[in-house]
Amino acid sequence: MPIHDWTRIEAGLFHAFHQHWIIFLCDALNAGGLPPEYFALPEQPIRGPIPDVLTLRLSGQGGESSEHQTGVAVAAVPPRVRHIRRTEENLCAKKADRVTVRHKRGEIVAVVEIVSPGNKGSRNALRSFVAKSTALIEQGVHLLVIDLFPPSERDLQGIHPAIWGDFEEDKDEDFTLPADKPLTLASYDAGPPPTAYIEPIAVGDVLPEMPLFLEPEFYVPAPLEATYQMSWSRFPAALKGLLEAPTDKP
């Protein structure tokens, strides 16, 4: 199903879709998308702002890991994305004194964030979202960011450069979104070293699978398209019409 133009409706209406998508993502991950010792929960409170989806691993799991029954190693199957950015090891060392975020039901290994208009609605809102995202990566928590909204005056090249700025060794190496692909999917392997996998997309595209990292260089594919479709099937018909109707042109 093609990605819809969510700028055509109010932010609060996207929030309704957003809530369904969170649940369906968790359901898909818990129904075989994750190895057995991992699980996903929606919007669970942790230290700091509340994320959309948490992926956790049960603490104190003994015996041989079953990860490779479900997940994929980067060396075996590299994620199919257009851009990869990797930092140097020495940049990570500066951040080694961070405290790892943990959850009472297990250790947090990954977070999924679906960007809402409110995350870009003001300079402070964007700064808060970026600070939360970079803090997670610094703490060793892998991150998947889904941004179906075009760049604003506060993120001129989309959400990725705003997040990645603190990790980029070469400040002159600019990231530029293609003019015909102004939306962003970005998956961050917290490393060490931190590595970003970026896929620019556009309204009308089918959502590709993105890597959701559980360990450095080890991921499961996040079923974005299937769960987007399921969320759309629950979206009110009256609102679907606002997104499917042709745009008025002079």
Chain segment 100-152, per-residue pLDDT in tens: 445 667 888 999 999 999 999 899 999 999 999 999 999 899 999 999 999 99
Contacts 24+ apart (CB under 8 A), 127-131: 128/49, 129/159, 130/159, 130/162, 130/163
Spatial neighbors of 190 by CB under 8 A, at least 6 apart, are: 136, 137, 138, 139, 140, 141, 142, 143, 213, 216
What stretches of 100-236 show up as alpha helix (H) in DSSP?
A: 123-138, 159-164, 224-234
State residue 212's pLDDT score.
Answer: 94
Q: Report CA-CA distances (Å) from 146 to 69, 115, 169, 183.
A: 26, 6, 24, 9
With a cut of 90, say whether residue 25 has pLDDT above it: yes
- Whether 63 maps to a domain, the answer reads no
- Whether 169 maps to a domain, the answer reads yes
Question: How far is the C-alpha of 51 from the C-alpha of 40, rounded, in Å?
Answer: 12
- Whether 122 maps to a domain, the answer reads yes
- Whether 1 maps to a domain, the answer reads no
With a cut of 80, say whether residue 59 has pLDDT above it: no
Q: How many domains does the chain have?
A: 1
Q: Which pTM was predicted?
A: 0.86
State residue 45's pLDDT score.
Answer: 60
| Domain assignment of residue 84, given as a range | 6-58+69-240
- Whether 135 maps to a domain, the answer reads yes
- Whether 246 maps to a domain, the answer reads no
Contact between 150 and 118 under an 8 Å Cβ cutoff? The reply is: no
Position 169 confidence tier, pLDDT thresholds 50, 70, 90: low
Question: How far is the C-alpha of 149 from the C-alpha of 159, rounded, in Å?
Answer: 9
Residue 146 pairs in a beta bridge with: 114, 185
With a cut of 90, say whether residue 182 has pLDDT above it: yes
- Whether 250 maps to a domain, the answer reads no
Mean pLDDT in residue range 23-39: 92
Position 93 confidence tier, pLDDT thresholds 50, 70, 90: very low
Q: pLDDT exceeding 90 applies to what percent of the chain? A: 56
Residue 4 per-residue DSSP state:
P
State residue 22's pLDDT score.
Answer: 93
* Helix/strand/coil for 18: helix
The size of the chain, in residues, is 250
- Whether 12 maps to a domain, the answer reads yes
